[in-house]
């Protein structure tokens, strides 16, 4: 069994993010971007990532400055933007930033660029027991509504969801949920800046179990 903590949209509130690990003892951690807020210094990123007590895999979000990739590389975390990484029976493919938004945020890509990134990763990706897409922006059509029937997700990501077992995304803070697209599980744990996160339990004998949590939830007594 593998237990994963997935968090995203920290927006500089690293205290809230780190308090998750006072409650959880995962085998690995996935971070889906927006580690910092718009215009925020990158000085606190390495201390934050280095304090996480489990192997950590991270991609940037659209609000992160592009220089954050160099900071990730200097930290104890593994930057998986445009890369794949195998850890036991789990393979992670990472896609940071977002498709274009109306706001012109620092880390955005055109859809054709995203399609090229995904194609390159898929050509190298090992087919494992569990293949996870760690992406900041959601695929188009799932966890991406900003108003009724107004979808802002990534078309290029939606086109490849069948290549994965689980899609871990964020970006749209209000879309905190576990859902499905084309038969694949999609999870947005909600913004970690508000104490939200997800626990993903992978067991060879069962379907993945995904639990949305918050640091203010009561701790279950064993």
Instruction: Give the pTM.
Output: 0.96
Domain ranges of the chain: 2-214
Q: How would DSSP label each residue in the chain?
A: -EEEEEEB--TT-HHHHHHGGGT---SEEEE-S--S-TT--STTHHHHHHH-SS-EEE---TTS-TTHHHHHHTSSSEE-BT-EEEETTEEEEEE-SBS--TT--SSB--HHHHHHHHHHHHHH----SEEEEEESSPBTTSS-EEETTEE--BHHHHTTGGG-SEEE--S-TT--EEEEETTEEEEE--BGGGTEEEEEEE-TTS--EEEEEETTSPPPP-
Range 2-214 has CATH code 3.90.320.10: no
Predicted confidence (pLDDT) at residue 221 exceeds the cutoff of 70: no
The tens digit of pLDDT for each residue in 97-136 reads 999 999 999 999 999 999 999 999 999 999 999 999 999 9
């Amino acid at each position: 069994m593998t237990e994963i903590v997935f968090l995203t949209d920290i927006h500089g509130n690293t205290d809230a993010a780190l308090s998750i690990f006072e409650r959880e003892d995962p085998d690995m951690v996935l971070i889906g971007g927006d580690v910092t807020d718009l215009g925020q210094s990158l000085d606190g990123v390495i201390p934050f990532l280095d304090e996480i007590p489990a192997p950590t895999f991270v991609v940037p979000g659209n609000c992160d400055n592009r220089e954050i990739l160099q900071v990730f590389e200097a930290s104890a975390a593994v930057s998986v933007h445009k890369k794949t990484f195998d850890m036991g029976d789990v393979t992670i493919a990472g896609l940071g930033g977002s498709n274009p938004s109306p706001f012109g945020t620092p880390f955005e890509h055109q859809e054709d660029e995203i399609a090229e990134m995904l194609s390159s990763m898929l050509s190298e990706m090992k087919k494992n027991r569990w293949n996870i897409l760690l992406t900041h922006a959601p695929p188009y059509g799932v966890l991406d509504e900003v108003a009724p029937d107004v979808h802002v997700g990534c078309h290029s990501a939606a086109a490849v969801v069948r290549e994965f077992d689980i899609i871990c995304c964020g970006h749209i803070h209000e879309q905190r949920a576990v859902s499905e697209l084309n038969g694949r599980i999609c999870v947005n744990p909600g913004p970690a800046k508000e104490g939200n996160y997800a626990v993903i339990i992978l067991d060879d004998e069962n379907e993945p179990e995904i639990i949305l949590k918050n640091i203010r939830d009561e701790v279950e007594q064993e």
